[in-house]
C-alpha cells in the first residue's frame, strides 16, 4: 500500500501511514527551520507527527533562503 | 579618515538617534536584503560592514533553498530576521507565507509584499491592503512594501501596519526615487515609520530618502549586486547617516538666484 501525494509540485509516492513528520524527515535536506503547508494551510511543527497524509494531498515543504 | 576610523564615529551618531520600529529600538536605520550575494562569507562581511540590525530573508521550496548555514551566519551577526512574502500575488498567498515564515523563523514580523505581476514587481494595492488587514488581525507586526502613493500608505498605516515602505522605483531597477514629492507627502500623512524600500541604486539615493524624511532605508540589490558589495554596504551606511543628519540639520531654502556668502560690505574699489 502507498499514498500518492504532491510534494513541492512533484507527484510523490509515500508509504502507507506516512505523516507530515515522516515526509519532512526525508525531504528537509538538513534544514532545521522547515515549514509545511498542507492543502493550503500551515501545519505547525507540533502537529507534524499527528498529521497523516491522504491520497491527493498537496504539500509544500519550505526552508529559509536569501531574499530582499 | 580611514574605514576603520569611520565606523566608530558612525556608531556614535547612530546610537544617539534610535530608530523605533514595532516597539523595538534599533541604532541602525539601514535594513538589508540578503538576495543576490555570491557566498556566505561575503554575506557576513556585508552585514557587519552595513551595521544593519534587521535583515530580510525568504522561504522557498527546500530543493531550491540556500544551505541551512545562512540563518546561522545571520544569527552570528546578531541581527534580527525579517521574513518577506516575495513573489506572492494574492492576499491568500501572502497570509499563508507569513504564517509559514512564523513557523520557520519564529518571528511574527513580516515584510509584506504582494505584487501585481512579475514584469514590474509593482505592488497590487487591493490585495496588499487585504493581506495587511488579515495579518494585523492575526497578530503580525506588518512592514508593508507599497507603491509611492500617500493615500494608500495612509490606509496601510490606519490598518495597523507597523511601518509603511514605499518604493522609490521598481525592485532591482536601481532607478532611485522617481517621485520624491510623494515620499515626502507620505511622510507627512502617517505616524508610523516610513521606510524607503526598493529602487535604490547608489548612495545618493539612500541619502535623498533620508533627507525627504524617511525613517530608514531598505535595500538589497544596490549592495548585493554591486561590483564590491562590502564597499557599497559602507557607502550606504554613510549615506543613510548623512541624509539623516542633513534632514535634522535643516537645509537652506532653494533660491532662483545666487546669494553671496562673502559679505559685500567693505568691497574695495579696485
The pLDDT of residue B2: 61
The pLDDT of residue A56: 95
Cell readout for B155 is 490606509
The pLDDT of residue A32: 82
Report the residue from B33, B103, B104 with minimal CB separation from A68.
B33
Number of helices (H) and strands (E), helices first, in chain B?
10, 10
Q: Which CATH class is domain A2-62?
A: alpha beta
Main-chain dihedrals φ then ψ at residue B269, nearest 5 degrees: -95, 95
Cβ <8 Å between A29 and B36? no
CB count within 10 Å of CB B173 equals 17
Report the residue from B33, B34, B62 with minimal CB separation from A63.
B62
Q: Which residues of chain A have pLDDT under 50?
A: none
* Confidence bin at B36 (pLDDT 50/70/90): confident
* H or E, element range at B131: helix B125-137
* Average pLDDT of the residues in B96-125: 96
Tell me the shortest Cα–Cα distance from B107 to chain A, in angstroms.
12
* Average pLDDT of the residues in B34-63: 93
Distance of CA A13 to the CA centre of its chain: 12
Q: Please give the share of chain B, as a percent, with pLDDT higher than 90.
A: 86
Helix (H, G, I), strand (E, B) or coil at B163: strand
Residue B10, pLDDT above cutoff 70: no
CB count within 10 Å of CB B40 equals 16
Residue B1, pLDDT above cutoff 80: no
Of B13, B20, B50, B21, which Cα lies nearest the Cα of B33? B50
Residue B111 a catalytic site member: yes
Residue B73, pLDDT above cutoff 60: yes
* Average pLDDT of the residues in B15-28: 91
Tell me the shortest Cα–Cα distance from B14 to chain A, in angstroms.
23
The CA dihedral of B91, B189, B171, B62, to the nearest 10 degrees, is -40
Tell me the shortest Cα–Cα distance from B218 to chain A, in angstroms.
9
Q: Please give the share of chain B, as a percent, with pLDDT higher than 70.
A: 96
Residue B213, pLDDT above cutoff 70: yes
Domain spans of chain A, in order of start? 2-62
What sign for the dihedral angle of Cα B258, B261, B264, B269?
Answer: negative
Q: In chain A, what residues touch B221 (CB-CB under 8 Å)? A: 68
* Confidence bin at B12 (pLDDT 50/70/90): confident
Contact B57, B220 (CB under 8 A): no
pLDDT tens track for B216-250? 999 999 999 999 999 999 999 999 999 999 999 99
* Average pLDDT of the residues in B28-36: 93
Pure H helices in B190-228: 203-211, 221-224
Residues 35-64 of A with CB under 8 A from B: 35-37, 40-42, 44-45, 60-64
Whether A30 and chain B come into contact, CB under 8 Å, resolves to yes
Q: Which residue of B has its CA nearest to A31?
A: B68
* Average pLDDT of the residues in B200-229: 97
pLDDT tens track for B139-196? 999 999 999 999 999 999 999 999 999 999 999 999 999 999 999 999 999 999 999 9
Cβ <8 Å between A29 and B64? no
Cβ <8 Å between B70 and A66? yes
Residue B86, pLDDT above cutoff 70: yes
Of B96, B18, B25, B85, which Cα lies nearest the Cα of B57? B85
- CA–CA separation, B216 and B197 (whole Å): 9
- Residue B120, C-beta contacts closer than 8 angstroms, at least 6 positions apart: B170
The pLDDT of residue B211: 97
Report the residue from B43, B70, B221 with minimal CB separation from A64.
B70
Report the residue from B36, B68, B100 with minimal CB separation from A37.
B100
Residue B67, pLDDT above cutoff 80: no
Cβ <8 Å between A65 and B84? no
Distance of CA A17 to the CA centre of its chain: 13
- CA–CA separation, B39 and A5 (whole Å): 35
* H or E, element range at B103: helix B91-105
Amino acid at each position: 500500500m502507498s499514498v500518492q501525494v504532491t510534494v513541492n509540485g512533484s507527484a510523490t509516492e509515500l508509504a502507507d501511514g506516512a505523516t507530515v513528520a515522516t515526509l519532512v524527515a526525508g525531504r528537509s535536506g538538513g534544514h532545521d527551520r522547515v515549514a509545511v503547508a498542507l492543502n493550503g494551510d500551515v501545519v505547525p511543527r507540533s502537529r507534524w507527527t499527528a498529521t497523516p497524509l491522504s491520497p491527493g494531498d498537496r504539500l509544500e515543504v519550505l526552508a529559509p533562503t536569501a531574499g530582499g | 579618515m580611514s574605514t576603520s576610523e569611520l565606523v566608530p564615529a558612525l556608531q556614535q551618531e547612530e546610537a544617539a538617534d534610535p530608530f523605533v520600529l514595532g516597539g523595538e529600538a534599533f541604532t541602525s536605520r539601514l535594513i538589508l536584503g540578503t538576495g543576490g550575494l555570491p557566498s556566505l562569507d561575503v554575506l557576513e562581511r556585508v552585514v557587519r560592514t552595513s551595521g544593519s540590525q534587521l535583515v530580510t530573508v525568504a522561504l522557498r521550496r527546500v530543493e531550491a533553498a540556500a544551505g541551512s548555514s545562512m540563518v546561522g551566519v545571520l544569527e552570528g551577526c546578531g541581527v534580527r530576521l525579517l521574513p518577506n512574502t516575495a513573489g506572492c500575488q494574492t492576499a491568500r498567498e501572502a497570509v499563508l507565507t507569513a504564517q509559514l515564515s512564523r513557523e520557520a523563523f519564529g518571528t511574527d514580523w513580516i515584510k509584506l509584499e504582494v505584487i501585481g505581476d512579475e514584469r514590474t514587481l509593482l505592488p497590487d494595492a487591493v490585495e496588499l491592503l487585504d493581506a495587511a488587514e488579515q495579518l494585523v488581525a492575526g497578530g503580525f507586526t506588518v512592514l508593508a512594501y507599497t507603491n509611492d502613493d500617500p493615500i494608500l500608505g495612509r490606509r496601510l498605516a490606519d490598518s495597523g501596519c507597523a511601518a509603511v515602505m514605499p518604493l522609490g522605483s521598481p525592485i532591482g531597477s536601481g532607478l532611485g526615487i522617481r517621485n520624491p514629492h510623494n515620499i515626502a507627502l507620505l511622510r507627512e500623512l502617517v505616524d508610523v515609520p516610513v521606510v524607503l524600500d526598493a529602487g535604490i541604486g547608489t548612495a545618493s539615493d539612500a541619502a535623498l530618502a533620508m533627507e525627504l524624511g524617511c525613517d530608514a532605508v531598505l535595500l538589497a540589490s544596490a549592495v548585493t549586486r554591486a561590483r564590491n558589495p562590502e564597499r557599497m554596504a559602507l557607502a550606504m551606511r554613510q549615506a543613510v547617516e548623512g541624509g539623516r543628519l542633513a534632514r535634522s540639520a535643516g537645509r537652506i531654502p532653494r533660491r532662483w538666484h545666487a546669494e553671496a556668502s562673502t559679505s559685500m560690505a567693505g568691497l574695495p574699489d579696485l
